[in-house]
Amino acid sequence: MTASRVLAGDRRALARLITAIESDDGAVDGVVAELVESVTPARRVGVTGPPGVGKSTLVDAMIKELRSRGDTVAVLAVDPSSPITGGALLGDRIRMQHHVDDPSVYIRSMASRGHLGGLAPSSSSAIAVLARAGFDVVLVETVGVGQSEVEVMDLVDVVVLVLGPDWGDQIQADKAGIVEITDVYVINKADRPGVDTVHRALLETLGDSEATVLVTTAITGEGVAALVDAVR
């Protein structure tokens, strides 16, 4: 396994490298180091937020929008670990399976293995590799997080926090932690009641912050183009 094969677009070599990273195989440390040292990283976008707000559907919609603009896309979806096997439950990959025949889209699920922070122990190296494997954009979807789980901010260029229409009462209580490290706020499921309340509460909480606040309906694609504009 060599860095040149990954750089040449060999997806099998990329998959094997990430598997070795997950397995904590020190034999690939040199390959990872060569990639990190030799290539400028792609745009890295972290998509995080509480469970049930539609992160996976939104990431899927972002892939569609990015591809419509000609961008190549890699996705690292960190899933909760199975309590039986310890592997990823793969729910995120299933939602994005219709991209499987697109050679310009690469989707990888990774088990959190109980790691706190919304990511997995090997996420840092995996993101670094994906960002240097010839893609234009790397999307990193975290496990549903709370306000103290902000690990993703150190690994990406832009942090997108996705909220749902029932999150209004919690915004004031969550000024600390993840709210403080967000670049783009997305209130998803705009077709449901409560979005206006969340939008108003969020703007009041942010005050003079320069963060962007957007409203989307991922299932229909509404607002997704504006979100891609913001993260680009």
How many angstroms separate the CA atoms of 121 and 110, rounded? 10
31 vs 109: CA distance, rounded Å: 21
Q: What are phi and psi of 77, to 5 degrees?
A: -105, 110
Please write the tens of the pLDDT for every residue from 194-226: 899 888 888 888 888 888 999 999 999 999 999
Q: How many CB atoms lie within 10 A of CB 91?
A: 12
pLDDT, tens digit, 9 for 90 and up, residues 4-38: 999 988 999 999 999 998 888 888 999 999 998 88
Residue 155, CB-side half-sphere exposure with 13 Å CA sphere: 27
Q: What is the pLDDT, as a whole number, of residue 1?
A: 59
Domain range enclosing 126: 3-231
Number of domains the chain is built from: 1
For CA atoms 57, 143, 111, 22, give the dihedral sign: positive
Which pLDDT band, with edges at 50, 70 and 90, does 188 fall under?
very high
Q: Which two tokens stand for residue 141?
A: 């979807």
Strands (E), the chain: 43-48, 73-79, 105-111, 137-141, 158-163, 184-187, 212-215
Which segment of 39-48, 70-79, 117-126, 163-172 scores lowest on mean pLDDT?
117-126
Q: How confident is the model at residue 115 (pLDDT cuts 50, 70, 90)?
A: very low
Note the helical H segments in 84-167: 91-95, 123-130
Residue 174 has what pLDDT?
55
Task: Point out the least confidently predicted range of 29-33, 41-45, 103-107, 179-183.
Answer: 179-183
Task: Choose the weakest-confidence range: 55-59, 148-152, 167-171.
Answer: 148-152
Instruction: Evaluate if residue 86 carries a pLDDT over 60.
Output: no
Q: What is the mean pLDDT of residues 122-147?
A: 86
What is the percent of the chain where pLDDT is above 90?
Answer: 49
Dump pLDDT digits (tens) for 3-13. Answer: 899 998 899 99
Is the model's pTM score more than 0.75?
A: yes
Q: Could you tell me the CATH number of the domain that includes residue 25? A: 3.40.50.300
Residue 187 has pLDDT above 50, yes or no: yes
User: Torsion-angle region of residue 71: left (phi > 0), alpha (psi -120 to 50) or beta?
Assistant: beta
Q: What is the rounded average pLDDT for all residues in the chain? A: 83
Give exposure, 131-153, as e/b (b: 16+ Cβ within 10 Å).
Answer: bbbbbebbbbbbbebebebbbbe
Q: Coil, strand or helix: which one is 49?
A: coil
Average pLDDT of the segment spanning 159-184: 74
